[in-house]
Amino acid sequence: MIPIRDTIRSRTTPVVTIALIAVNAFVFLQELKLGPDLDRVVEVFGFIPARFVSWVDLGGSPLDPWRFLPLLSSMFLHGGWAHIAGNMLYLWVFGDNVEDSFGHLRFLLFYLLSGVIAALTLALFSPSSIVPTVGASGAIAGVLGAYFVMFPRSRIVTLVPLFFIPWFVQIPALVYLGFWFLMQLLNGSLELSARAGLAGGVAWWAHAGGFVAGILLSVPFRNRGSRSRSPAWLA
């Protein structure tokens, strides 16, 4: 299921959402130019749970900035065209309304903090993983979590490929995002039971952690006086 748009119009221009998409796109284009050097960049700036957890044991200072830098830098690296396209699509569809409710600066802080919490959640559930994690999905999961609680009556126009025929349906945000979150929990649990944490793949627990962070942070980050709005067709 591919989200196309939601049914709520933003009252302000989502300048931070647009800027984040632009920055991610710019960084990805620079990645494409690196060739074989990209692996080294991902190794340094990607988030590796085992390195973060064992930093002191490996002889590093507990407050060394290089220990914490990947918590932020990993959000702006992506593993391929499909990876960045999917992440930016979700950010575009859901980010504008959350930014509208938070305000531009608060939204930026919320986005970055959600991404950090998502990475720390991954470290909690996969502390031995030596696979570099990259991508904005943890931060975007925070946006989804905030949208889930603030705009439950919205509907998501969704593309469902049906035997190669494009089929567009409107799915309530509560259902769409609730199902999305349950899938992260299910896949994360299956990964733990299979002890696949060292094998790489999708960072399910980062997604789940970011989503929960978005739900919890939506209260303090929300602008006073802002309120969830019904979609236009319900107004």
pTM higher than 0.85, yes or no?
Answer: yes
Whole-angstrom Cα distance, residue 1 to residue 18? 23
pLDDT at 235: 27
pLDDT in tens, 35-72: 999 999 999 999 999 999 999 988 889 999 999 999 99
CA quadruple 49, 41, 35, 126: dihedral, nearest 10: 0
Whole-angstrom Cα distance, residue 3 to residue 160? 9
Q: Which residues are catalytic?
A: 137, 207
167 - beta bridge partners?
A: 160
Task: Provide the terminal-to-terminal Cα distance of the chain, rounded to the nearest Å.
Answer: 27
The order of strands in the sheet holding 155-162 is: 2-6, 155-162, 165-172
Query: Is 231 a residue whose pLDDT tops 70?
Result: no
- Distances in Å between the Cα of 168 and the Cα atoms of 5, 62, 153, 162 are 11, 51, 18, 10
pLDDT in tens, 158-184: 998 877 778 889 999 999 999 999 999
pLDDT in tens, 63-106: 999 999 999 999 999 999 999 999 999 999 999 999 999 999 99
Instruction: Name the fold adopted by 2-229.
Output: Rhomboid-like fold (1.20.1540)
Sign of CA dihedral 194, 197, 201, 202: positive
